[in-house]
Copies of this chain bind each other. A is one copy, B any other.
Amino acid sequence: MDQKINKEFGISVKKDENFSEWYSQIIEKAGLADHISAKGFIILRPYGFAIWDLIKTYLDQKFKETGHLNGFLPCLIPESLLNKEEKHFKGFNPEVYWVTSSGDSLLSEKLALRPTSEALLYSIFPKWISSYRDLPLKMNFWNTALRAEIKSTKPFIRNSEFLWQEGHTAHVDKKEAEDEVMTILYLYKHFIEKVLSIPTISGYKSNKEKFVGADYTIALEGMMPDGKALQLGTSHNLGLNFSQPFEIKFLNKNNIEELVWQTSWGISWRLIGALIMVHGDDKGLILPPIVAPIQIIIIPIYKNVNEHLVKEHANRLKDSLVALGYRVFVDERDEFTAGWKYNEWEMKGVPVRINIGQRDIESNNVEIVRRDNRQKSIIPVENLSKEIEKIFQSLQSDLYCKAETYLKEKTKIITSFNDFKRNLDSYSGFMVTGWCGNEDCEVGVKENTGADIRVIPFDIKDLPAGLDVTYEVIKDCIYCGKKANKTVIFAKAY
């Protein structure tokens, strides 16, 4: 980090002036990720990977608490397996990377790089499942999926290989599978809203947008600062669609053979993309404390004469905070000014900064600065941990409120297709409309405007509070004008 980089350090554009460039610069300048030469692939640097690792640690614990166990799956899938559930595979076909040779020899059968693992895993389920006693079988895999992005790519949002988790379960009946699908969606929702501070709208995907091979898909949609939707998590009820072709059967309590009912579900590093977009500002990232690799940065402010004293004190302070379970780092580098360090750690989104100098040591105080609103306060050291807890909680809920206010502002009830188009042209956002349920109308809207049905909310209660939606207002299909039988949300999406 020499002087050359120093000068170029800040983001050169404003978030609300050039959102896309702002996003790219944050990723590079906060040291999250870098492109490599092959299209759509990125490398995660330690800081970016640490955020993913914290997401993983939190969710893994929740998956285990709800009875799921981790396993490992190879990334190559023989073509014949993928073809067993035809509908499923057709959906991925254009995106599948094919391995055709090893060394100079052609393979006898082409191998696909995992776009998702249903086919591979379910081919082994008949070996593991024979009786109702083997059910439910609830597994999870932290790995990557590969889907060739031929058009535009965007780090964390649209990559040819991405980190994700894929859960796969098998159950004795339909009801249990339905419960699992919902349990997982609400587990995701809790994490994304309460931990990542990102509001979501939950509901069904339309038949056109659901996971190919699922009976139905339920999903969480978030809104990004440009008004576009980002799908944040999905949970699929697979019904018997895989247990039939793969012959996954069990003997029930009456010793009669039945097919298992299945689910699959996943979230990916898109959540990091959402974190950056939703919370970041012109100075850089803003990370909610639970997923911040460094939660507290300590900057010792010293001159030559008191360098040793101040640094020693800063490190003692660090040790006491580490002992309380916080992730803390002391920036002792002599080659940078305190101001430069403030900028760097704001760029990296560290939620709390502590400045400590000679005067603070003498008065037994510290200066504490909150990342999101840059509020400063001087507090006695003995109140520090209480104050940090307060800041963490307040930062977490302020981030959520800000994002929720924005979501409400940009969510409109629209009843005419002219308003629909005008709305999209002026500021995008979510449009709550009626839909007759006919796929032709869905396609018609898409072709005319670029927007599609992001989600069919479970209930109008699930829409942002304050939106005065009733079934009386939304009575006609936005496209054909016939009677609407569903209230849906249209938006442009990533």
Contacts and interface: CB of A to CB of B under 8 A. Distances in A.
Interface string A43-74: 11110111011000000000000000111111
A244 interface: no
A148 interface: yes
Given A43-B71, A43-B121, A78-B37, A103 B111 contact: no
Interface string A100-124: 1111110001010100000011011
Contacts of A144: 74-75
Contact of A139 (B5, B46, B111): B46
A94 interface: yes
B102 A98 contact: yes
Interface in A66-92: 69-78, 80-81
Number of copies: 2
Interface in A118-161: 120-121, 123-124, 127-128, 130-131, 133-134, 139, 144, 146, 148, 150, 160-161
Contact of A76 (B1, B4, B38, B49): B38
Interface residues of A, number: 67
Nearest to A46: B69
Contact of A150 (B42, B102, B128): B102
A99 B124 contact: no
Given A42-B74, A71-B44, A75-B161, A101 B98 contact: yes
A2 interface: yes
Contacts of A53: 70
Q: Is the interface of A mostly helix, strand, loop or mixed?
A: mixed
B113 A99 contact: yes
Contacts of A109: 38
A103 B95 CA distance: 5
B134 A1 contact: yes
Given A46-B69, A71-B46, A133-B335, A100 B100 contact: yes
Closest 3 CB pairs of A and B: A102-B148, A46-B69, A44-B72
